[in-house]
Amino acid sequence: MPDRPVIRNRQHALVDRLRQLGRKRTADDPAVLLDGWHLVADALAAAARLDAVVFSTEVAERPEACALARACDAAAVPVFVARPSVFEAISPSAAPSGVVAMGRRPEWTLAHTAVPVPGLVFVAVEVQDPGNLGAIVRVADAAGGTGVVAAGSGADPFGWKALRGAMGSVFRLPVVRVPRPGVAIAGLRVTGLRVLAAAARDAVPIEEADLRGPVAIVLGNEGAGLPPEVAAEADARLAIPMRPGVDSLNVATAAAVIAYEARRQRKRPAEPGRRSGGADRHATTMTPPAD
């Protein structure tokens, strides 16, 4: 990889900026840190805005690094190489991949998450683990969802760990962060979506519910599930059937099960007698924790 600027010390401005993004990205910061070959390549393929790509000198001459650098050149993205000690300071990972990039988060709104019609949006309420949040984005993209909303004060969907978990899906699928779950639910209703909460009791099994129309699926966090006041805002509740003794699933796994049930239903013709959502929205309900 000839003729690339070499970053030789940790005092370089780009090093400082990338380290800041890796430690703690603020919610209003448009910049994001991408770590890993697949993620950087996916961002380029999606025509995402990248401000810089940095390779470690240890990998800079590999064929895959040269190919990725040529793709950066074609997209007019500046390419740098960094000495190993400097790259270790840049990469937030305990096992650096050899390539990181600084990009810009996509600018989506709630309205973007509901199209194309019929919308299938996943609302992750207070999900704390960035890996879980990233996995929800990835599975929503894979199953044909139209968007993901990170609601509340949970993990940052544009933090480096969540981006790594989502891989390139965050550049293809509208992902929005909304500080208050109630605001997110109200905004999605305005776009024409029916709001369904994942729950354990007083809920319709997912295979009996009608998931073919525009819907938003609300999921609780890893420890406490959905707050009662958020569950009460839903139009109906959905349950994932489980054998006795098992009362919850990992939140990303639950999202995957529901997403693929919705995908299955949307590929089949309407069936008579299918219920349109769930139990009355004001009935008492509890949502199981999802680890």
Tokens read off for 218: 């609300």
CATH of the domain at 92: 3.30.1330.30
- What pLDDT, on the 0 to 100 scale, is given for residue 165? 94
**Domain hosting residue 36, numbered range:** 6-104
In-domain check, residue 114: yes
The DSSP symbol for 198 reads E
Same domain, 120 and 233: yes
Q: Are residues 162 and 96 in the same domain?
A: no
User: Do residues 69 and 122 share a domain?
Assistant: no
Domain count across the chain: 2
**Does the residue 275 lie in any domain?**
no
Please report, in angstroms and rounded to a whole number, the separation of the first and last CA atoms in the chain.
44
Q: Answer with the one of 55, 87, 104 that is the final residue of a domain.
A: 104
Judge whether 271 lies within some domain.
Answer: no
Output the tens digit of pLDDT for each of the chain's 291 residues: 778 999 999 999 999 999 999 998 898 899 999 999 999 999 999 999 999 999 999 999 999 999 999 999 999 999 999 999 999 999 999 889 999 999 999 999 999 999 999 999 999 999 999 999 999 999 999 999 999 999 999 999 999 999 999 989 999 999 999 999 999 999 999 999 999 999 877 889 999 999 999 999 999 998 878 999 999 999 999 999 989 888 789 999 999 999 999 999 999 765 555 555 544 332 222 233 333
pLDDT at 12: 96
pLDDT of residue 271: 58
Give the residue from 278, 219, 225 showing the smallest Cα distance to 247. Answer: 225
The answer on 115 and 100 residing in a single domain is no
Residue 278 inside a domain? The answer is: no
Q: Which of 77, 104, 131 marks a domain boundary?
A: 104
DSSP 88-156: HHH--SSS--SEEEEEE-----HHHHT-SSSPEEEEEES---HHHHHHHHHHHHHHT--EEEEESSS--
Does 246 reside within a domain? yes
> For residue 178, what is the domain's CATH number?
3.40.1280.10
Closest CA to 178 of 104, 252, 106, 109: 109
Chosen domain end from 104, 130, 153 = 104
